[in-house]
Structure 1
């Protein structure tokens, strides 16, 4: 990635998005982020993120963040709603980001969703699927909108997320039947590797820790980013 332009990361106030921002900055890549609160903006500024105040649900805020000032080379979105959100950003927030990215002519859009979205629904245990179904529907809508946008995309669907430090055992597979767990920091590393991988262009991939894949699943092939 160029050192003169920015990677725009949505969802940096917590979780995988924040891990992605930390990883990019540690590798001397400039990061710009849209944040809803002054508190979050200040916290991210401390680690080197260039914050822009705004809400992903507001298209004007998103366009201002992506289209104005510094050039954006790629967009990474980990947007996902909390149970307390009355309007979840999983579709509409990502739609706004995708529309702005199209206008800005970004080189790549990486969308982080979840195993259980789209054709990976087959990997989910029925009980978990029932609980997560409303949000998985929104995530699938966002995936389809990105696929149809004309942007160069990579969709990453992590398994169950854990907060411990990276293990280095994160893998990707294009096989939608595989499910398990992965640490957020390992998802971040895989996402960032996809930025420079032409193999990852226009792919939908599941992200898992090779040591935390559920037993009894079919044999599968690891996806090669190099």
Structure 2
């Protein structure tokens, strides 16, 4: 990354996205975030993030935020909806971001989805799958669109998310059978480490806390360097 280029963050108003913003600014990286509310924008400005008001579901908003004379090195998206949402952003919003990222000639696109998406569907219990099915279908469409886009990508699929301080035990694996919990702060730290890891280029990785696995499956941890 050059000192002039930005990391563009979508989904930073809460959850994993907010933790990623904290992680990136702590490293004194230049971050630009697309946000829907003035309140979220003010909170992120306070930690040094450049903010743009807009909705990722709107192509015009995304292009206005990304296609500027400020180069964007990497796009990170944690955008996702709830099973109760009538219009889910998981595919549509991420499609807009991917299309704009191609036009902006970004170097890398990091997409955060969830375990249960795509070929990790078998990791979930039937109950969890039934509850999340409508969202997972949209997340899978987003993953497939990104893979087909020609962009260099990293897809991170976290397990069940908890809002607690980082444990430092978050790990990545290519093993699609793995399922467990992980703290949002640990997911954010893993995502930030993927930024400069060429080993993660064009990889799909599950993220779990190695001490919070569901079931004791032996698996190979993915090393970032």
TM-score, length basis structure 1: 0.97
User: Structure 1: which 4+ aligned runs deviate by more than 4 Å?
Assistant: none
CA contact (8 A) 2:83 2:135 kept: no
Structure 2: gaps (5+ residues) = none
Aligned residue number for residue 90 of structure 1: 90
Separation in 2, partners of 1:202, 1:152? 6
Aligned residue number for residue 159 of structure 2: 159
Separation in 2, partners of 1:83, 1:17? 19
Aligned residue number for residue 214 of structure 1: 214
Structure 1: gaps (5+ residues) = none
Report the RMSD for the aligned CA atoms in angstroms.
1.0
More deviation, 64-73/117-126: 64-73
Q: Is the aligned partner of 1:4 residue 2:4?
A: yes
Equivalent runs, 1:20-59 vs 2, <5 Å: 20-59=20-59
User: Offset of 1:82 from its aligned partner?
Assistant: 3.6
Equivalent runs, 1:102-181 vs 2, <5 Å: 102-181=102-181
Separation in 2, partners of 1:12, 1:208? 21
Q: SS in structure 1 opposite 2:66?
A: helix
The count of aligned residue pairs is 225
User: Offset of 1:197 from its aligned partner?
Assistant: 0.4
TM-score, length basis structure 2: 0.98
User: Offset of 1:62 from its aligned partner?
Assistant: 0.3
More deviation, 67-76/165-174: 67-76
User: Offset of 1:79 from its aligned partner?
Assistant: 0.1
Separation in 2, partners of 1:68, 1:84? 35
Aligned residue number for residue 225 of structure 1: 224
Aligned residue number for residue 67 of structure 1: 67
